[in-house]
């Protein structure tokens, strides 16, 4: 591998906001590897041509971001059971014969980010409340169930979308009406925001925390800003918080293992370098 120039990419539309190039190019430098990770602005109608070009261009693979994660499922040659369950591909791996394999590492990023902040975290410690039912929520619910969660209260503005998610994930997921989201926090051991609310340019998530036990862990998968209004409010009332950037950082680890056979580390230095740009 020492003589090979390693290549990977992130495809999205738009793509300029992505912190992935900074993450992966940090790891190339840290491992002393010759390589590059490039942001590619790919509109959905060009995704198939872009993915099919990867083997000829010597790319080991790519990540996918909004709005391409679902569409890629119908393009790649194989989709593993995890990505199929989550319903989205976050990472494409170019196999030796040029075939494209789709996997989803977002759930891994969610779980390992929480474990980095709270090493003794147990998803089966009590009910988890998940706000939102989009692609991020599906990865979070998958991760919670993989870690043994027995009760997930799922609450989304559009009720039917939450119902669809619950049907895919089985009995552990209980759908809660949007109007009941404040009360759903009663007795919860964990709260995760997976909506885009609280992201820069968006209003804060409209959620009253008064019913949430102060022992509950609060995570927001939104990472711009570093600390969302939800996390700030939770911290002030004494809850332990887990910021969202680490979900992005940790999902890169299995991607590197699959692309390059290397296990990179999520270090404080890496986190600080990327947080400085948020
Ligand atoms: N940290 C990470 O690595 C990571 C990974 C994935 C995603 N994310 C972040 O997570 C967020 C969601 O991403 P996604 O891929 O799941 O998006 P998505 O599939 O488009 O889902 C968006 C979610 O936000 C909800 N929502 C949007 N506007 C709302 C509003 N005004 N009030 C209440 N709910 C609202 C949607 O509810 P409806 O169904 O009612 O529209 C839906 O549940 C984004 O900010 C993204 O950057 C972070």
* pLDDT one-digit tens code per residue, 190-216: 999 999 999 999 999 999 999 999 999
Pocket test for ligand 1, best of 91, 133, 157 (most atoms within 8 A of CB): 157
Quote the pTM value: 0.97
Among protein residues, the one with the nearest Cα to ligand 1's atom 21 is 134
DSSP string over 177-189:
-GGGTTGGGTT-S
What number does the ligand 1 atom closest to the CA of 162 have?
39
Short-list 153, 148, 107, CA closest to 130: 153
User: 195: CA distance to ligand 1 center in Å?
Assistant: 3
- 196 C-alpha vs ligand 1 centroid, how far in Å? 4
Calculate the alpha carbon distances from 108 to 52, 93, 218 in Å.
26, 16, 18
Residue 69 among the catalytic residues: yes
Distance 36 CA to ligand 1 centre (A): 29
pLDDT the model gives residue 246: 98
CA of 130 relative to ligand 1 center, distance in Å? 12
3-state secondary structure 218-238: EEECCCCCCCCHHHHHHHHCC
Check 34, 69, 71, 211 and give the catalytic one: 69
Confirm if 186 and 211 have CB atoms less than 8 A apart.
yes
Q: Tell me the backbone φ, ψ of residue 181, rounded to 5 degrees.
A: -65, -35
Q: Is beta strand 173-176 parallel, antiparallel or unpaired with respect to 240-242?
A: unpaired
Candidate from 132, 199, 266, 278 with most ligand 1 atoms within 8 A of CB, to mutate: 132
Ligand 1 pocket (Cβ < 6 Å) reads 66, 106, 109, 132-137, 156-158, 161, 194-197, 199, 221-223, 244, 247-248
Ligand 1 center–CA 97 separation, angstroms: 36
Q: What's the confidence (pLDDT) of residue 4?
A: 86
pLDDT tens digits, 88-117: 999 999 999 999 999 999 999 999 999 999
DSSP three-state, residue 176: strand
| Average of per-residue pLDDT values in the chain | 97
User: How far, in Å, CA of 109 to CA of 70, rounded?
Assistant: 18
- Res 1: pLDDT: 58
User: Which of ligand 1's atoms lies nearest the C-alpha of 244?
Assistant: 1
Residues of the chain with pLDDT under 50: none
- Residue closest via CA to ligand 1's atom 43 equals 132
């Amino acid at each position: 591998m020492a003589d090979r120039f390693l290549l990977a990419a992130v495809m999205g539309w738009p793509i300029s906001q992505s912190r992935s190039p900074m993450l992966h190019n940090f790891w190339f430098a840290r491992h002393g590897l010759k390589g590059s990770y490039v942001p590619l602005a790919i509109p959905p109608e060009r995704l198939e041509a872009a993915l099919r070009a990867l083997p000829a261009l010597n790319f080991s693979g790519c990540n996918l971001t909004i709005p391409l994660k679902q569409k890629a499922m119908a393009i790649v040659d194989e989709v593993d059971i995890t990505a199929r369950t989550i319903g989205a591909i976050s990472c494409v791996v170019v196999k030796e014969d040029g075939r494209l394999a789709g996997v989803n590492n977002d759930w891994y990023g969610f779980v390992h980010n929480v474990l980095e902040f709270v090493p003794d975290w147990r998803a089966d410690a009590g009910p988890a409340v998940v706000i939102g039912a989009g692609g991020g929520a599906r990865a979070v619910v998958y991760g919670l169930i993989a870690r043994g969660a027995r009760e997930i209260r799922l609450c989304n503005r559009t009720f039917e979308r939450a119902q669809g998610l619950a049907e895919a994930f089985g009995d552990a997921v209980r759908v809660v009406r949007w109007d009941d989201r404040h009360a759903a926090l009663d007795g919860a051991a964990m709260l995760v925001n997976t909506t885009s609310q609280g992201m820069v340019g968006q209003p804060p998530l409209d959620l009253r925390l008064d019913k949430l036990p102060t022992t509950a862990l609060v995570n927001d998968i939104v990472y711009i800003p570093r600390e969302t209004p939800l996390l700030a409010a939770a911290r002030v009332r004494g809850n332990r918080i887990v910021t969202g950037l680490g979900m992005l950082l940790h999902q890169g680890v299995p991607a590197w293992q699959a692309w390059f056979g290397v296990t990179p580390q999520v270090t404080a230095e890496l986190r600080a370098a990327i947080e400085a740009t948020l």
